[in-house]
């Protein structure tokens, strides 16, 4: 009989990918994905440790799930409760101590051993704890089938990070940099395509560090891998994330110039516009090098749009440093961005630095920075009105007859369109724009559409530079 599985995913796309693969791995054991923890036979919290209060959130969620587990036990049934991901990796022992009703605790490198853990959890009392960094790769244990939702899929090509930015826990929770062999990546891309993916996002903690081996012992970088993925029939859109600016190389920039499937949108975290702060963060780029890189990308692909991550209130950040970040935002122009108050992560170098910034100062800086970013984002969206863009129609909207898709720039686009267009890439005319989404109508005549699209490249470039 089918058993139900609920996975709650926190944090980055790598976790979304891992959750999908856990679903695939558990399918042969009879587990089917459910959208609610109520009555589930297994609940997995796939956790994130990157910012504050992550562990506390997990413990309070576990408290709620404990009640569901007890309710099942009272009627003679059982629920396997598991904590996965980076909080499990960093605080595994603490979880088994504080929440002894948890059955399995395992890190991001162990999910391929899930079937074995499930068997052990049903046999033994107490939690199964698996937070080793195994020698064998979890990627070698991938099931043949794949789960794809909404015609778009994530594909992890690289994991771990050796950069040790002084604020970041990732090098400790995800371990050293590792790249999957080229053939494995291409096989998985074809599987995802067969399962309905038209867009693939290549993932890595530091995706620019990708150097996968080929059959003849040579290595391929990210730019060259993208060219190969683009050759796969049926994959029409390629994205990649997350980038580390200091490791973006010419080969990748050339891929932006040459590969039409590679979307003209890049998430390129800068963190700060101050060289002092960047150096204290141990980022291996300064603000000038970042600006330079943006120029080179724009020279290669004039309509490219950028997004970024920013941290305000890093230890020692002065008002003048913050103003340099604001200047950089004004100069570069971002279509969207994520921004955070610095939060000390235990065990990272910055947590022990003197000159921690006052919380009120952090909040004030974050508010002005976000106001500027939202202004840019809203302006960019408004500038799209009147243009036509190809949109991948991913899912049904909230309203009758409505579909929702993504533009090349990752904007959400709403359109009245027939259900059979789900999964298609349609050229849409943008009618109106808000802060977070656009409303559009279908463009019928293909001839008009393609002309409009090439005109778009020109206006996107102008807009990207003027916002």
* Part in contact with ligand 5AD (CB under 6 A); list of ranges 231-239, 272-280, 339-347, 363-371: 339-347
CA 260 to chain centre: 22
Q: Which residues pair with 438 in a beta bridge?
A: 413, 433
The 238-267 contact track toward ligand 5AD, x by CB under 6 A, reads ------------------------------
Given 50, 222, 225, 425, the residue binding ligand 5AD (CB under 6 A): 50
Determine the Cα–Cα distance for residues 382 and 61; give it in Å rounded to an integer: 39
Given 47, 173, 201, 271, the residue binding ligand 5AD (CB under 6 A): 271
Q: In sequence order, what E strands does 313-462 have?
A: 336-341, 388-396, 402-406, 412-416, 425-433, 437-442
- Contacted by 161, from ligand SF4, ligand 5AD, none: CB < 5 to 8 Å by type: ligand SF4
Q: Tokens 């800068």 appear where?
A: 270
3 state SS of 332:
helix
- Contacted by 163, from ligand SF4, ligand 5AD, none: CB < 5 to 8 Å by type: ligand SF4
- Contacted by 223, from ligand 5AD, ligand SF4, none: CB < 5 to 8 Å by type: none
Nearer to ligand SF4, 37 or 171 (CB): 171
Given 72, 120, 163, 341, the residue binding ligand SF4 (CB under 6 A): 163
Beta strand pairing status for 178-179 and 158-159?
antiparallel
Nearer to ligand SF4, 176 or 448 (CB): 176
- Contacted by 244, from ligand SF4, ligand 5AD, none: CB < 5 to 8 Å by type: ligand SF4
Q: Tokens 């909040």 appear where?
A: 363
Q: Does 164 bind ligand SF4 (CB under 6 A)?
A: yes
DSSP 277-303: HHHHTT-S--HHHHHHHHHHHHHHSTT
Binding to ligand SF4 (CB under 6 A): which residues in 212-251? 244
Nearer to ligand 5AD, 355 or 444 (CB): 355
Given 11, 171, 273, 313, the residue binding ligand SF4 (CB under 6 A): 171
CB of 255 to ligand 5AD, least distance (A): 22
- Contacted by 345, from ligand SF4, ligand 5AD, none: CB < 5 to 8 Å by type: ligand 5AD
Tokens matching residue 320: 């003048």
CB of 51 to ligand 5AD, least distance (A): 5
Binding to ligand 5AD (CB under 6 A): which residues in 400-429? none
Tokens matching residue 349: 């170098």
CA 165 vs CA 279, 280, 447: distances in Å: 10, 9, 49
Among the listed residues 86, 116, 101, 136, the one whose alpha carbon sits nearest the alpha carbon of residue 26: 116
The 276-315 contact track toward ligand 5AD, x by CB under 6 A, reads ---------------------------------x-x----
Among the listed residues 418, 437, 419, 415, the one whose alpha carbon sits nearest the alpha carbon of residue 428: 415
3 state SS of 218:
coil
CA 445 vs CA 29, 346, 393, 428, 429: distances in Å: 49, 58, 18, 11, 12
With contact defined as beta carbons under 8 Å apart, do 15 and 9 qualify? yes
Given 81, 87, 161, 312, the residue binding ligand SF4 (CB under 6 A): 161
Nearer to ligand SF4, 152 or 173 (CB): 173
Beta strand pairing status for 402-406 and 305-312?
unpaired
Beta strand pairing status for 80-84 and 265-267?
unpaired
Given 68, 129, 155, 168, the residue binding ligand 5AD (CB under 6 A): 168
Nearer to ligand SF4, 165 or 192 (CB): 165
Among the listed residues 300, 374, 303, 299, the one whose alpha carbon sits nearest the alpha carbon of residue 335: 374
Applying CB under 6 A, the residues found at the interface with ligand 5AD are: 50-51, 167-168, 269, 271, 309, 311, 340, 342-343, 345
Applying CB under 6 A, the residues found at the interface with ligand SF4 are: 161, 163-165, 168, 170-171, 205-206, 244
């Amino acid at each position: 009989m089918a058993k139900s599985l609920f996975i709650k995913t926190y944090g980055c796309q790598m976790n979304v990918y891992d959750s999908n693969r856990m679903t695939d791995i558990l399918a042969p054991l009879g587990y089917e994905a459910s959208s609610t923890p109520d009555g589930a036979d297994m609940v997995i919290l796939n956790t994130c440790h990157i910012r504050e209060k992550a562990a506390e959130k997990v413990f309070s969620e576990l408290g709620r799930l404990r009640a569901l587990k007890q309710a099942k036990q009272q009627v003679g049934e059982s629920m396997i409760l598991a904590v996965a991901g980076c909080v499990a990796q960093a605080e595994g022992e603490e979880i088994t101590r504080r929440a002894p009703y948890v059955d399995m605790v395992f890190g991001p490198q162990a999910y391929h051993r899930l079937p074995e853990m499930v068997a052990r959890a049903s046999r033994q009392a107490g939690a199964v704890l698996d937070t080793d960094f195994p020698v064998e790769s979890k990627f070698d244990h991938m099931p043949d089938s794949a789960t794809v939702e909404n015609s778009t899929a994530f594909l992890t090509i690289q994991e771990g990070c050796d950069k040790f930015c002084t604020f970041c826990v990732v090098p400790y929770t995800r371990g050293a940099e590792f790249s999957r062999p080229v053939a494995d990546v291409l096989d998985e891309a074809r599987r995802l395509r067969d399962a309905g993916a038209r867009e693939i996002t290549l993932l890595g903690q530091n995706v620019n560090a990708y150097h996968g081996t080929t059959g003849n012992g040579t290595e391929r970088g990210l730019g060259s891998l993208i060219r190969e993925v683009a050759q796969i029939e049926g994959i029409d859109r390629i994205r990649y994330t997350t980038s580390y600016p200091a490791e973006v190389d010419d080969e990748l920039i050339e891929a932006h110039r040459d590969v039409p499937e590679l979307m003209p949108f890049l998430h390129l975290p800068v963190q700060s516009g101050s060289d002092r702060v960047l150096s204290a963060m141990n980022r291996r780029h300064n603000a000038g090098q970042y600006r330079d890189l943006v120029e080179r990308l724009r020279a290669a692909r004039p309509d490219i749009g950028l997004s970024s991550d920013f941290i305000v209130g890093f230890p020692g950040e002065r008002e003048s440093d913050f103003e340099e970040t604001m200047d950089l935002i004004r100069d570069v122009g971002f279509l969207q961005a994520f921004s955070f108050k610095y939060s000390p992560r235990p065990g990272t170098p910055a947590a022990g630095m003197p000159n921690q910034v006052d919380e009120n100062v952090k909040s004030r800086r974050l508010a002005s920075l976000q106001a500027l970013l939202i202004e840019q984002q809203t302006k960019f969206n408004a500038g799209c009105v009147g243009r036509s863009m190809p949109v991948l129609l991913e899912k049904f909207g909230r309203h009758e007859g409505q579909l929702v898709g993504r533009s090349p720039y990752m904007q959400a686009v709403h359109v009245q369109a027939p259900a059979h267009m789900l999964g298609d890439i349609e050229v849409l005319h943008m009618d109106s724009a808000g802060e977070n989404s656009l409303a559009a109508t279908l463009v019928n005549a293909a001839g008009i559409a393609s002309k409009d699209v090439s005109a778009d490249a020109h206006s996107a470039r102008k807009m990207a530079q003027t916002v």
